[in-house]
Chains A and B, each alone.
Chain A
């Protein structure tokens, strides 16, 4: 130790930057815009969303109307052909996309809502609460998800709502485990203790202190959950457990799957739509991951 009895306290403003940095959220956003795959994915997804939202106004054919002879190949009469009943495939894609993307988005929200709630309570409180919640999570995780979802849909009816909820209910354990791990990592950090010392209650600590810092990986997993849910909806419809009264990409594949050889276009186009949507979403997820990881590395 050198002498600590220097009489005057020197101000310490020497190296202080004159301007505040932009917020971490904006930094991540800026970083995301520099990731080519992320931007490409976002652009593709935006086009898909705009098409399903505004497409019906420009392409006025009802997807459930029998507009032409069955198995009309793509051409003058129907741009992308018709299916086994003579329904227009392009109309099906446009209208069905709305249902498929909605199911994906809402199911992902349900997945994340359940997963983050259970995971954060489990990781934050630890002890008996953690043990109980981990048991519940494990129980849901060992159930085969597709089978479990099929049971739920069979029990509660083949509507789009049931399908969405069923997908959310079987998908949350992954999000819960991820959130729990983040909370376990963060909850004993000094700044969380400092907040408690500053008078923060458990609710404030969970929602305002720990959760914002746990958010980056949760956002990535939420993005991925949308893709998984879209695939799931396709899978259920393929097995004949989708909503038969609402056109969706999965339903188109499911209903036409027996006729692939009579008209490839009946299945290939909705299949390609699902593929493109899921790919775009996973590119976005990668972009977000790239955007937040340099910062995580710097912080750690």
Chain B
């Protein structure tokens, strides 16, 4: 079974990301499952960045700690990543770098010095050194040269045929030289192993596999779900959702608005939602903080709107380019007073895609704000998926109780009541623009017609009506999904993006003699308490694995089910959990509490 990790390390501005993306795509097109993450700082130049690519013969949902091949674009990269090198790993670098070779050799690792710059200059110029490095890496690994070249071609196509040609010559030369000099000795080379995915199409576009980031999957889901309006203020790591939709504005007919601030962004979306457009606001915690008052406006006026909070390390500006699950209790309680809201926390790329359309349907069914909680890890990681995993057939675009033109035509003028008391709490919605449904929406408490009133009876009725929607919505909230054996000594509880590394930690725990399973929550609010209780019935010991300091989900679980987790594993350094870290933290926790 193949399971390799490649790290590309270099300085910011050196093209670490584009090299990583090129190699990831080349690996996918060579028929391998890929999972990649990027580790970078909030600065444009300087400082160490790295990219981690995992290549496997089965679907993988997390990076993994041991590194089998290090592509070092700087001397420091070797010093920084040396400790993670697996026995027999290779370090590939430009032979002009003064790499400290001794310690690498002592670890039993191999040195692959290559004249990368020289090759680049021979066929083109220095700028092409990264192409040489990636191609040499592909060479020692044994990825397909043809597929690599198809990726290189695509990457440079916009720069004209001469640039493409030169890069292809660089790739060819570096690849062949690496194969000749080093592949034989490299024990992790893929030669002989047959890739798990079909690579039928010689152009590399088999049409069957995707390599997609979480944010792209979400944006695609939102587009499929009938998104008609997106307004945002740029904030890492949410910006790429907005940028993708902006690129598609013309093609898909989605109004996109870069607003003056996040308050404007969310208010514009609420205005668009009121007018009848499916409206989305991508942001991160800091932006969400500014949207808090408007969130309550959407709740009070019962206007559907979707906000995606792509969490990063907090508090305040925190760790702008890093990951955390620190906003859970905040988004659950944000804004004054009480009103229904729905919170989803997708964990996988498929779930994030699904949240893209499902959030709109929930928002319109229950006429309330829906918050999607993602994080930098899910947002920016690239994952290989079978194309059908992002399925158009599965997309539901239900607008709930929306009165269409014909229904409105039948009404007597003055008969329509926007906030009619109903048993479900859902009042049939009319969009502004029809003569038979002229009504007022106010953020003050209001009567069935939407007029301001503080009358006691009305207040109680309207408040109860709004809150009833939540009970209704609860019926379609999903309980936790179980991974691993039904019967286990230890149950790992997680939510959102932690699921990838958590699930991969189960076999590692098994190896250490701990039979473990995992429960993963995606539907956070209204909390699926009954399903959670049932799922926890047989659990012996539970450990909540969360990317935050205070164990926010464990608190929520206790609040809603009374279940007190036995242990907590928390990580708040801004770097995503790896399966190895989770396994060893669980073992430690368990050992210290026997």
B partners with A: no
